[in-house]
Structure 1
Amino acid sequence: MDCDRCSSAAVAYQAYSGQHLCDEHLSRSVRDRVRSRIREDDLLGEAEADDPQTWLIGLSGGKDSAVLGAILAETLGADRRVELRGIAVHEGIDGYRDESLEAARALAEQADIPLTERSFAETFDVRMDDVVEDDPKQMAACAYCGVFRRAILADVAESADADLLLTGHNLDDECETALMNLFEGDVDQMARHFDASLGPLDERADPGPHVPRAKPLRDVPEKEVALYARLDGLPAHITECPHAAESFRGEIQELMLDVEDRHPGTRHSVMAGYERLARLAAIDREAATTGRCEDCGRPSGNDRCRACELQAALSA
């Protein structure tokens, strides 16, 4: 099958667009959507060469962060208005994270992005392998991991005086989150989702001490991200975390992919409608009060942040 845009052999079929694409046009399509998202969300704002912004990129070593880092480096690496930096987190998962970190280091070197590394062990005195063995709250491993990882990203972003924290969440990731919020009827979470990473920066609530986040890959399906990484020869450790467990998100993912397979374009439609709903929810929101955790000083809406609560439970 030939590419619908040229005479080269097609490597992918976009069911939602009805197009067969060759490697060059598939890669161009991904890059164009990332760059369009940067423009639509007005991420550069009023950045100037004499006062450059610092963009901190979460580099996990997986396909999503590798593609995000590579495209940002290609697009903005020579732009004097932006300084790109990377952050990689070691959760303490033997036989998994070490290989991922090697990939993150290779990508950072290839893209000429300075990389900072942090670990759960040095920050919280815990390792995920140990948490799984001794879980006082009987929660899924991902619940602990997500809280601790986000806390470290926030720490590094604040210490680097970053203007933006960017993560490699793709269309599938964001659609899953949207459906979870809709199914749970969590309007407040929709508003928080909008303010955290969906809306243009000038439409979001004041983040207070939080560094604003952005997800430039959120218009690109996961399979296209993976194919881009392979076609571009990017260093990426593509494997599932050994502690990943069945969860509500997993059920939502299966449902979403099944509907998408039978009705191509569903993910894009869900996100288009959800973003409008989230924007309305955000307009109707009450101003959130965000202070500092009394224990660690991180931004928190409570006296004690969730990371400190979990750390205390694990050490009890």
Structure 2
Amino acid sequence: MECDKCGRDAVMHAAYSGAHLCDKHLRASVEKRVRRRVREDDLLSADASPEDPQTWVIGLSGGKDSVVLTQILHDTFGRDPRVELVALSIHEGIEGYRDESLDACETLTEELDLRHEVVSYAEEFGVRMDDVVEKDPENMAACAYCGVFRRDLLEEYAEALDADKLLTGHNLDDEAQTALMNFFEGDLKQIAKHFDASLGPFDRRTDSVHFVPRAKPLRDIPEKEVALYAHLADLPAHITECPHASEAYRGEIQDLLLKMEENHPGTRHSIMAGYEELAELAAQRYRGGDGSRDLGECERCGSSTSGRICRKCRLVESIEAV
């Protein structure tokens, strides 16, 4: 199998496009799509300048996705005086797992000479994920607790770092799985949260002055290509599943999507194309004609919430009560 562009040995066949790509051209293809997404999502504001640069905070976990995103953004904007990149890592408190991931984060940020901030559940919430899993007061999967806590800290510290954008490493498979889960569950209100009339889809909302616009520059890239990029570029990624990962339903959706993609190449891209339109329609239905919604402040921590107390604080309270 030869590369379509240069005739060298191909390392990948992308069935959804029919392309056969070698090491060099696979990496170039991934980089091109990430940079195109950055342009299409208008991440670099027109008024950004060396005198008033934008701050982009990257959620860096040490896994393949966030490491690849950080490397490509650094290669693209590392010398651009209009952009300051800051890596933000979250230590959840998982014995024998997160420490190794943070080692990968530190290796990468040192190599790139990138500012790196680390915060932990223990310092911020007084809980560790190992303890949360043991207590499990809400009888939920570990990922449900962790997702709430991680999102809260990413948003809080992105704001504290005066970020203009918060970037995460969600890939095409991640996004298609979430879209399908929301649709199968009939959760149109959750789908509506992924759209803002002025900024477009996928967590780039402006519900309150406290919310830092978020974007996912890897969302057009299949997971397999991200993993292959990390391997070919010899990046210090920690590719090990979390010991508490137990999202059985997401696993079923993942298996279904992989089978569908194998039999019908392009399924993931088609799902996301339809999901964008559905998110816009759902936002009009559940968040008003302009897609906006009213939020107040949590009585306990001050973060934005539609209720009296935010989801994070409710979970922390239930854990403390055990």
Partner residue in 2 for 1:291: 296
Moved more, 34-43 or 239-248: 239-248
Output aligned runs, 1:213-252, within 5 Å: 213-252=214-253
* C-alpha RMSD of matched pairs (Å): 1.8
Indicate conservation of the 8 Å contact 1:57/1:166, yes or no.
yes
Q: Which runs of 5+ in 1 are unaligned?
A: none
Structure 1 SS opposite 2:154: helix
Correspondent of 2:314 among 296, 309, 312: 309
Instruction: State the distance in 2 between where 1:2 and 1:196 align.
Output: 44
Instruction: State the distance in 2 between where 1:111 and 1:129 align.
Output: 32
Q: Percent identity?
A: 63
Q: Which runs of 4+ in 1 moved over 6 A?
A: none
Structure 2 SS opposite 1:89: strand
Moved more, 110-119 or 274-283: 274-283
Q: Which runs of 5+ in 2 are unaligned?
A: none
Output aligned runs, 1:66-77, within 5 Å: 66-77=67-78
Structure 2 SS opposite 1:116: strand
How much has 1:151 moved relative to structure 2?
1.0
Structure 1 SS opposite 2:146: helix
Moved more, 5-14 or 105-114: 105-114
CA deviation string 1:86-128 (max 9, x = no partner): 1001101111100000001111112222000011111111111
Indicate conservation of the 8 Å contact 2:207/2:294, yes or no.
no
Instruction: State the distance in 2 between where 1:110 and 1:199 align.
Output: 34
Indicate conservation of the 8 Å contact 2:208/2:304, yes or no.
no
Partner residue in 1 for 2:276: 275
Partner residue in 1 for 2:94: 93
Number of residues paired by the alignment?
Answer: 315
Partner residue in 2 for 1:175: 176
How much has 1:50 moved relative to structure 2?
1.7
Instruction: State the distance in 2 between where 1:290 and 1:53 align.
Output: 26
TM-score for the superposition, normalised by structure 2: 0.94
Determine if the alignment matches structure 1 residue 33 to structure 2 residue 33. yes
Partner residue in 2 for 1:43: 43
Instruction: State the distance in 1 between where 2:45 and 2:283 align.
Output: 21
Structure 1 SS opposite 2:195: helix
How much has 1:200 moved relative to structure 2?
6.4
Instruction: State the distance in 2 between where 1:114 and 1:204 align.
Output: 26
Instruction: State the distance in 2 between where 1:19 and 1:311 align.
Output: 48
Determine if the alignment matches structure 1 residue 199 to structure 2 residue 204. no
How much has 1:49 moved relative to structure 2?
2.3
Instruction: State the distance in 2 between where 1:88 and 1:143 align.
Output: 19
CA deviation string 1:169-222 (max 9, x = no partner): 000000011111111222222121123998269x95554321110000000000
